[in-house]
């Protein structure tokens, strides 16, 4: 299968390696011309995935139309906030090509999920040709061939099974789902909780706090996700609880890293200015809070993260406020 990956960050580059190893013809698109030329020439992407050499069989280009020419499947691995702009510049996409999102976030300006962005910007693409892959997938571990499981969700069972068959290897096992909404929201919202978990670790609040945070965080993820049409069982699966545990504990998690530095006393502005890779939870915190207010859903942890990042609220004061909220039954 001829596969084009839009986005040569650590996850896009990782999937290029994984798919090329299984015999697929892979083209990796990088928007930055100089970066694309560097990776193409050196066969290394030290900026995002150090330590790996890209086989010559992987084509690296900055030409969007050339990258998509005759592609049978297009993987989306760009930052969520840049997705609309990238898709808008696509002049033509091959008929019947499958579109598969690897992104985990919500567009801040529109409050749209990735599938909604795609179907809006690519009206010629049928929703049955769209799928999303999500789950506990830390890129360096996947690149190293460590056992990884994830979920591929699509409104079309045929599309989900096609992606499952073409992507699964001895090291990467995919399960199918028809809950696109739930899988997308679980993957996006867990990044916000990972920011909070990082703050807890940065403040050295201990394991009791961390365990409570993950549990209550999952509860509010599920509340918003179900209200927006997701299946509640999805949030207890790989794209929900599985990804949440991983992202809140891995040293490779960008969102956890950002939160930890803030918890140690760095200002959010300073932390973000020095980030090479994107921490999607930063933008999703605002988007999720906006969605929660519109739906009348209570998300106290998410709102706390939003206030710390966007209003400069002290993380320790935020923890005190959470602990002193009105007492209630566990939901």
The more confidently predicted of residues 307 and 95 is 307
pLDDT of amino acid 278: 86
**pLDDT classification of 91: cutoffs 50, 70, 90:** confident
How much is the average pLDDT of 150-161?
98
| pLDDT tens sequence across 261-304 | 999 999 999 999 888 888 999 999 999 999 999 999 999 999 99
For residues 78 and 86, the answer to whether their CB atoms sit within 8 Å is yes
Q: How wide is the angle at C-alpha 7 spanned by C-alphas 69 and 147, nearest 5°?
A: 110
- The percent of the chain in helix, strand and coil, each rounded to the nearest 5, is 55, 10, 35
Catalytic residue among 104, 112, 190, 222: 190
Residue 2 has pLDDT above 90, yes or no: yes
Residue 123 exposed, middle or buried by CB count within 10 Å (0-12, 13-18, 19+): exposed
Residue 95 has pLDDT above 90, yes or no: no
Q: In what order do the strands lie in the sheet with 59-61?
A: 59-61, 25-29, 2-6, 73-76, 98-101, 130-134, 148-153, 172-177
pLDDT of amino acid 1: 95
Q: How far is CA 54 from CA 15, 28, 37, in A?
A: 11, 10, 13
**pLDDT classification of 28: cutoffs 50, 70, 90:** very high
Query: What rounded mean pLDDT belongs to the chain?
Result: 96
**pLDDT classification of 122: cutoffs 50, 70, 90:** very high
Q: How far is CA 115 from CA 36, 80, 104, 126, 181, in A?
A: 27, 11, 11, 11, 8
pLDDT of amino acid 21: 94
**pLDDT classification of 230: cutoffs 50, 70, 90:** very high
Give the number of other Cβ atoms within 10 Å of residue 268's Cβ. Answer: 18
Residue 305 has pLDDT above 90, yes or no: yes
How much is the average pLDDT of 129-154?
97
For residues 139 and 252, the answer to whether their CB atoms sit within 8 Å is yes
How much is the average pLDDT of 187-202?
97
Residue 216 CA to residue 25 CA, distance in Å, equals 43
Concerning whether 2 is annotated as a catalytic residue, the answer is: no
Residue 92 has pLDDT above 90, yes or no: no
Residue 10 has pLDDT above 90, yes or no: yes
pLDDT of amino acid 80: 97
**Tokens 């959470």 belong to residue:** 322
**Tokens 């697929």 belong to residue:** 24
Three-class secondary structure of residue 2 per DSSP:
strand
pLDDT of amino acid 208: 96
Residue 324 has pLDDT above 90, yes or no: no
**pLDDT classification of 224: cutoffs 50, 70, 90:** very high
Domains of the chain by start residue, with CATH: 2-178 (3.40.50.720), 181-323 (1.10.1040.10)
- CB burial of 203-215 (b: ≥16 within 10 Å; e: otherwise) equals bebeeebbeebbe
For residues 131 and 163, the answer to whether their CB atoms sit within 8 Å is yes
For the question of whether the overall pTM of this predicted structure is more than 0.75, the answer is: yes
Q: Cα dihedral sign for 32, 36, 39, 42?
A: negative
Residue 232 CA to residue 138 CA, distance in Å, equals 24
Residue 17 CA to residue 27 CA, distance in Å, equals 11
pLDDT of amino acid 277: 84
- CB burial of 124-145 (b: ≥16 within 10 Å; e: otherwise) equals ebeeebbbbbbbbbbbbbbbee
Percentage with pLDDT > 70 across the chain:
100
């Amino acid at each position: 299968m001829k596969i084009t990956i839009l986005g040569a960050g650590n996850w896009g580059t990782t999937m290029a390696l994984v798919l090329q190893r299984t015999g697929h013809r892979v083209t990796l698109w990088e928007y930055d011309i100089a970066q694309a030329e560097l990776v193409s020439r050196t066969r290394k992407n030290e900026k995002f995935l150090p330590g790996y050499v890209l086989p010559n069989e992987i084509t690296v280009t900055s030409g969007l139309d050339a990258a998509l020419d005759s592609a049978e499947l297009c993987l989306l691995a760009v930052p969520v906030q840049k997705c609309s702009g990238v898709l808008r510049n696509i002049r033509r996409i091959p008929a019947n090509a499958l579109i598969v999102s690897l992104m985990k976030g919500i567009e801040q300006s529109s409050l749209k999920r990735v599938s909604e962005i795609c179907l809006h910007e690519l009206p010629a693409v049928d929703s049955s040709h769209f799928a999303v892959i999500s789950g506990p997938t830390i890129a360096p571990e996947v690149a190293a061939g460590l056992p990884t499981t994830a979920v591929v969700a699509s409104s079309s069972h045929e599309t989900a099974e096609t992606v499952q068959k073409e992507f699964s290897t001895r090291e990467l096992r995919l399960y199918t789902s028809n809950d696109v909404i739930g899988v997308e929201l679980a993957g996006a919202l867990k990044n916000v909780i990972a920011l909070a978990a990082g703050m807890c670790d940065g403040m050295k609040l201990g394991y009791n706090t961390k365990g409570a945070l993950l549990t209550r965080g999952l509860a509010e993820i599920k509340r918003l996700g179900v209200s927006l049409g997701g299946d509640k069982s999805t949030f207890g699966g790989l794209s929900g609880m599985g990804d949440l545990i991983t992202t809140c504990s891995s040293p490779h998690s960008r969102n956890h890293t950002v939160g930890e530095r803030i918890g140690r006393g760095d200002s959010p502005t300073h932390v973000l200015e020095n980030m090479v890779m994107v921490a999607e939870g930063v933008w999703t915190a605002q988007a999720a809070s906006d969605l929660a207010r519109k739906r009348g859903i209570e998300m106290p942890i998410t709102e706390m993260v939003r206030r710390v990042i966007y209003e400069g609220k002290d993380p320790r004061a935020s923890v005190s406020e959470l602990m002193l909220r009105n007492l209630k039954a566990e939901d």
